[in-house]
Chain A
Amino acid sequence: MTNRRVIRRPPALVLLLGAVGLALFVVPLAGLLWRTPWSDLPTLITSSMVTDALGISLVASVSATVFSALVGVPLAWLLARVEFPGRRLVRGLVLLPLVLPPVVGGAALLFALGRRGMVGEPLYEQTGLVLPFSIWGVILATTFVAMPFLVITVEGALRNFDERYESAAASLGAGRWTVLRRVTLPMIGPSVMAGLTLTWARAFGEFGATITFAGNLPGRTQTLPLAVFVALESDRAVAVAISLLMVVVSLAVLIALRERWWKVL
């Protein structure tokens, strides 16, 4: 930081375009604040519709993040460290949910894992388990959409990380598990945390795949974004209140974690 050249007067054009970019984020938020029914806010955000939806959103987004960590980090490691045919295709497949409309993801999940789906039907017949219209459906849909953020961040960190540290540790007698635990993970730790933060934030805001795959039922599958969608057409004050709640929660998490982890991004 100390060696970095400080530009005192940025070029006017850069300043102008940057300001336009910033306005694109700030103006909608200002619109939200402008519409906020401040005096009714405490009543609105403590209504059972909102607290139920907040609970489901937190459970689903945290579960999706934990599940992503469990399978996403190993997947990132494989993609970064193991040469195998079709690796580029696999990498593309993993990133697909980032660009795919979430509704398409939800529909694909339904075709595969619904009660009459390719995998879902035998699953239902063997175990009686129905994923759509349940909290498991919400977790699955949000994981599908959010996990790529973790994989892409961790894979990038692993590829930029000097493998000689690992070789050195190994040559000093450390086993593979010890190298992974004592050298690799600590060094990519900040990236993993950044990826987990992004994954959580994306999961917290998920809408399209959730409503398509898991449906929309207050108290069971209705997350905050779904509640906003429903409230926008019935009670705008509630919709604005929930939106504000989501902005505050998301911003608090992103800012708090950025201080610690996000410097790597």
Chain B
Amino acid sequence: MSILVVIVALAGCGGQGDEELLVSAAASLAGAFAEIEGAFEDARPDVDVVLNFGGSSTLREQILGGAPVDVFASANMSNMDAVVAAGQTVGAPRVFAFNTLEIAVPAGNPGSVDGLDDFSDDGLLLGLCAEAVPCGELAREALSTAGVTAAIDTNEPDVRALLAKIEAGELDAGIIYVTDVTSAGGTVEGIAIPEDVNVTAECSIAVLAGAANHQIANAFIDMVLSDEGQAILSEYGFSSQ
């Protein structure tokens, strides 16, 4: 079904003879990549970039299922590795940004959460990303390093879905990327996770074997890696090391 969605999205965005570039990017990259899309289209007015956001694992399954995607930007290495192992990439994937985790609580912190220990509190409504999604995998890693047995109330399909439920105040806390706390503005508050238990996610990007135009796909990746692209990413809270 996801594949069909991609195809329909493709069919629906027919430009006026413009070359189309379909980029599947992790949900955590949504803000930064929307801006990079604009910068790239300014530089290459002949190209229409179409962004397909989702959990990296969902995007991976779409690609492995044969979705006609040109570029894949994953929020971590394991999903990218699976696509590489399937022989679906051209050239080695490039790491283009790093991200870490933060506890997010609704503005005003109604649940009075102050650290990872609160994730064992049955009385709070707590959410994580699903285990298969990078933010879920990493959050569980951090919780287990901290020795916390979490009393989770929901496993959300991707980081944006989790953020939305925290913003709405339906959850008292969740573990999301630092970048998502930044992009949410004041609607959520971030609570730092100590460095010794926190985890770093490597965001990686690659051209896919099925890409219609490898030259355009590579140009997009160059834009992501360029000073301009990196500046946009750092604006959204990604770090370059």
Contact = CB atoms under 8 A, between A and B. Distances in A.
Interface residues of B, number: 22
A197 to B, nearest CB: 24
B155 A230 contact: yes
B191 interface: no
A114 B165 CA distance: 10
Interface stretch (B54-62, B181-189, B215-223): B54-62
B172 to A, nearest CB: 9
B155 A233 contact: no
Central interface residue in A217, A232, A233, by most chain B CB within 10 Å: A233
A44 interface: no
B145 to A, nearest CB: 21
B200 to A, nearest CB: 22
Main secondary structure of the interface of B (DSSP, over half): loop
Contacts of B58: 233
Interface string A197-208: 000000000000
A163 B101 CA distance: 66
B131 interface: yes
A130 B125 contact: yes
A217 B155 contact: yes
A216 B170 contact: no
Q: How many of chain A's residues touch chain B, expressed as a range?
A: 20 to 34
A111 to B, nearest CB: 8
Contact of A110 (B57, B60, B130, B168): B168
Contacts of A217: 152-155
Nearest to A121: B169
Interface in A185-235: 211-212, 215-218, 220-221, 229-230, 232-234
B132 interface: yes
Contact of B132 (A115, A212, A221, A233): A233
A133 B132 contact: no
A102 interface: no
7 contacts: A116-B169, A133-B153, A215-B154, A216-B156, A217-B153, A233-B130, A233-B133
Interface of A: 110-111, 114-116, 130, 132-133, 211-212, 215-218, 220-221, 229-230, 232-234
